[in-house]
Amino acid sequence: MRSAQPVGIAGYGAYVPRLRVRTSDISNAWRPRGAIAPAVAEKSVPGPDEDVVTMSIEAARTALDRAGTELERIGAVWVGTESKPYAVKPSATIVAEALGITPHVVAADMEFACKAGSEAMQAAVAFVGSGMVEAALAIGMDTAQSKPGDALEYTAGCGGAAYLFAAAEDALAVVEASVSHVTDTPDFFRREGAAYPEHGGRFTGEPSYFRHTRAASRRLLEDVGAGPEDFAHAVFHQPVPKFVEKVASELGFTPAQIDTGLVARRMGNAYAGSSLLGLAAVLDVARPGDRIFFCSYGSGAGSDAFAFRVTGRIEARRAGAAVADYLDRRQVVDGYGRYLQLRGKVRRG
């Protein structure tokens, strides 16, 4: 897909909370001694006063500061998440108010499991590319939920990123093209009123993550007439690092191409924020002229793939906190009990 007028990213910002839980603490509570080590060593945990709204506000503030766009030119804001603080009440209006871009702005929350953030990116490209608005903000952010003792508890992390899309002539990275690939695949879901999502175990791999990321990626490469070797970096949705390593290698990307964007190794899976956060980590180091390959995945299921080309404006748009700054700022919580309390999995009786 290509927009009527060329569009790009004018500013970006990331957020990862300060707290971490060691996955060995989770393992000690649930797994027999000598069980294999969890897929990541630690994962990010929100502080007691943090949620998708507060995290989105910080990432978006960085994005807006970097873009330098006048606030009245921003015509849309979407928050893609599967952990909204309110079941009914938009997060996007709180974020818009905190940024000072109300009231003439399109605002809503997007829902598509881990693809909600890239769904917001597709919408932002369309709104700007059609000329309906001058600039649109797309956010992917999550405080991922997981059942105590479940396989997901070892990786369900927190974080995300915000992207301000505007005309290509003001962009730090131009959108070359995008693809969306969806099918009805019941690999992961949460029913109304349920506290935690359910998933299909091994079913989340081949028929779900791999099938969709592969198909969307191949279609995008075809659309832009490029091969994996034409890209400096490739970013994928990151349920666990080995999923990314496998799909990247199948598509012909090298470990060096996926290294920078694979933030899950240090913080776990940020769900709707995962691939967007990986893209932010890549933009933190990308050079003018670099091409970036991006492919999200959301259960349900689908993938959005984007090809970006970095412009000469990138170096002037990196003020403020980088993804690495957030990953370096870390405080390990005192054991599994404190983690359960912070995530609201246990409450005072």
Partner 1 sequence: MDLARYHRLRSAYYRLEGQRCTSCQAVQFPARTTCRICRARTLEPHRLSGRGTVYSHAEVGPAPRGFASPYLVALVQLEEGLLLTAQLTDVDPEDVMIGLPVEMVTRRIQEHGAQGYLVYGYKFRPILPRRKAS
Site residues, partner 1 (CB under 8 A): 18, 47-51, 53-54, 57-58, 85-86, 94, 97-100, 285, 318, 320-322, 324-326, 328-329, 331
Catalytic residue among 114, 119, 153, 295: 114
Q: Is 114 a catalytic residue?
A: yes
Smallest gap, in angstroms, from Cβ of residue 218 to partner 1? 33
Q: Which of 2, 24, 40 is nearest to 268 (CA)?
A: 40
Q: Please tell me the number of Cα atoms within 13 Å of 9 on its side-chain side.
A: 34
Smallest gap, in angstroms, from Cβ of residue 100 to partner 1? 6
Q: CB nearer to partner 1: give 19 or 179.
A: 19
Q: CB nearer to partner 1: give 95 or 177.
A: 95
- Backbone dihedral angles phi then psi of residue 44, each to the nearest 5 degrees: -75, 145
Catalytic residue among 42, 82, 119, 153: 82
**Cα(first)–Cα(last) distance of the chain, in Å?**
53
In sign, the C-alpha dihedral spanning 156, 161, 162, 167 is negative
Distance CA 246, CA 55 (A): 30
Catalytic residue among 181, 212, 237, 295: 237
Q: CB nearer to partner 1: give 11 or 38.
A: 11
Smallest gap, in angstroms, from Cβ of residue 219 to partner 1? 34
Smallest gap, in angstroms, from Cβ of residue 59 to partner 1? 12
In angstroms and rounded to an integer, the radius of gyration of the C-alpha atoms of the chain is 19
Q: Is 104 a catalytic residue?
A: no
Q: CB nearer to partner 1: give 54 or 296.
A: 54
Q: Given the DSSP bridges, would you call strands 74-80 and 106-110 parallel, antiparallel or unpaired?
A: parallel
Ordered alpha helix ranges (H), 68-227: 91-99, 116-129, 211-224
Smallest gap, in angstroms, from Cβ of residue 73 to partner 1? 17
Q: CB nearer to partner 1: give 168 or 327.
A: 327
| Bridge partners (DSSP) listed for residue 137 | 77, 164
Decide: residue 194, CB within 10 A, 0-12 exposed, 13-18 middle, 19+ buried: exposed
Q: CB nearer to partner 1: give 167 or 324.
A: 324
∠ Cα 129 130 131 (to 5°): 90
Q: Which of 18, 132, 120, 24 is nearest to 63 (CA)?
A: 120
In sign, the C-alpha dihedral spanning 322, 327, 328, 329 is positive
Smallest gap, in angstroms, from Cβ of residue 327 to partner 1? 10
Active-site residue set: 82, 114, 237
